[in-house]
Amino acid sequence: MVISLTALAAGCGGGSDSSSNSTTSAADWASGYCGAASTWVTTLDKARASVKPNDPAATASDAAQQVTAETNTFTETIKGLGEPDTPDGAASAATAKTLADTLVGRMARASSAINTNNPDVTPALQVKTVRDQVTASLADVAKATTALEQGDDELGTAMHSSSDCTDLNTALSKAT
């Protein structure tokens, strides 16, 4: 289990900051954010469901690799969106960047639990910690999505009109 869950946390938080100072139309920003978030939520929810306390390491390995890759992709997508071209675009971009940073932090906490040398941290506790961090990450995305919808009227309108955002809300309602 340690090997597969280490793969979950490996690769999270690294890389360059690909954020740009450019602006993106509210509709394109909403679609980009929601499309990436929807894929990420679905992947994490499936991974969380597949990792059980008594599973052998090989069982969770595929899920951990998917979560790692998807978290990296999602956080890079968020950072790369720039600002939505709205009056509150800077605040919306800051909300999204804070979300990305939070997700990276959660994966780091999961990694710390997996990589500990503390003999009191059992494999079952390691799995619980990872599952708890994934659950909290899903809640973070739901909270940030609501904040984006409500904190920027123009972006909120674009999000309510976006089929990608409808898909995200459906995925979040299943996962949380």
Q: Check residue 68 and give its pLDDT.
A: 74
Q: Check residue 150 and give its pLDDT.
A: 96
Is pTM beyond 0.75? Reply is yes
Task: Quick: pLDDT tens for 44-98.
Answer: 888 888 777 665 443 444 555 667 778 889 999 999 999 999 999 999 999 999 9
Sketch the domain layout of the chain as residue ranges.
2-11+22-175
Q: Are 154 and 86 spatial neighbours (Cβ–Cβ below 8 Å)?
A: yes
d(C-alpha 157, C-alpha 53), whole Å: 42
The token duo for 153 is: 């009227």
Class of domain 2-11+22-175: mainly alpha
Beta strands 23-24 and 83-84, pairing class = parallel
